[in-house]
Amino acid sequence: MTGNGNMVIKCPTKQEVEELKRAAENALENRYEITTTKMMKPKVKIPGYEGSKPMEDIEECIRKQNNWILESDELRITYVKKKRNSAATILAECSASLFHKFMEQYTGSFRKSTSDGNKQEKGGIVRFDKRVGALHYANLKQKDEFMRASALAHIQKFPKMESLFCRKWTSKEYLHPDLNVKQMFNLYQEESLEQPKCSYHTYPRVFESLNLSFHHSRKDQCSLCLSDREGDANQKLELQDAYTANVAEKNTVCKKKEDAKEMSKNNPASIAAAVFDMQQVIQLP
């Protein structure tokens, strides 16, 4: 090791250099013949040069480096930080294996990794990964899918109700306004204690993936109308007479209101119509 950080090593024998030179030239010629049959001679960008250099210049650089090794008594190697797998690294190292890797990188003919090849069977199917971490991950994934399916089945059990003010052909469904996600999750936890359950972090995500929402009435309705609308067949049969009388009274009141509005429009100077919703009036002392 010299004082300036360079390491001096003995040059290999002339016979070893000749073998290295022949191996590099054979790899170069074989790879060059294959690439020229498929595509034009590629041009490679080299750091420090503007534009690109053709493949013939790279071949000439490698041959010049071989001649320099043969004519030198000793080889000085300076450790310089270079970009990995770059063209400058290939030109600095005269090696048949590195040049072969360089040609594969810039011609697009990538080799298949040895590990993938060892995992393949005769039919080309990759064998199952038997590592402990892979098996644990597969079990966790299967368990997570099972818990999500159980949460989805529980949400689907709740009865749906249609909204009065929504699009006619909408696919959105509504749950009862007295419910919320927290109450549904508590019922889900109490349903079956033996089976694994998803967490409260996962349950709302499953709910949000569905086209569901909680119904909130946008129009005031009396308790009798709501009971007839949300009740079953037996309840509707019991409330049929009362509901019919309620609807008739509603129609009569609406007819009187429309008549009063028409009279106020025809005689605005003498008649004024005022409408109050007495159920919404706040009772003050």
96 contacts 23 by C-beta, under 8 angstroms: yes
**Is residue 77 a part of any domain in this protein?**
yes
203 inside domain? yes
Here the contacts of 27-36 (C-beta below 8 Å, separation 24 or greater) are 27/96, 27/99, 27/100, 28/59, 28/62, 28/99, 31/99, 31/100, 31/103, 31/107, 32/59, 34/109, 35/103, 35/107, 35/109
CA-wise closest residue to 34 among 95, 86, 108, 96: 108
What is the reported pTM? 0.35
Which two three-digit tokens encode residue 82? Answer: 């270079």
Clarify whether residues 12 and 104 are in a common domain: yes
* Domain total of the chain: 3
Domain check: are 176 and 236 in the same one? no
> Quick one: 63 and 149 in the same domain?
no
Q: Six-digit token pair at 79?
A: 């450790």
Distance CA 167, CA 171 (A): 9
- CA 257 → CA 2, 245, 265, 273, 274, distances in Å? 108, 19, 13, 8, 9
Nearest of 26, 14, 37 to residue 62 by alpha carbon: 26
- On whether both 89 and 19 belong to a single domain, the answer is yes
Strands 212-214 and 173-175: parallel
Per-residue pLDDT of the chain (285 residues; tens, 9 = 90+): 455 555 444 556 677 767 777 776 666 555 444 333 333 444 444 444 445 555 566 667 777 766 666 555 444 544 445 444 555 454 444 444 545 555 555 444 444 444 444 555 555 555 555 555 555 566 667 777 888 888 888 888 888 776 655 555 567 777 877 788 888 888 888 876 777 788 888 888 888 888 888 776 656 667 677 677 767 778 778 888 888 888 888 889 888 888 888 888 888 888 887 777 665 555 555
Buried b (16+ CB within 10 A) or exposed e, 43-59: ebebeeeeeebebeebb
Same-domain status, 190 and 241: no
CA-to-CA dists, residue 154 to 161, 207, 213, 227, angstroms: 17, 10, 15, 26
Q: Which domain holds residue 235?
A: 223-266
Concatenating the DSSP letter of every residue in 92-111 gives: HS--HHHHHHHHHHHHS-PP
Question: Is 19 in the same domain as 66?
Answer: yes
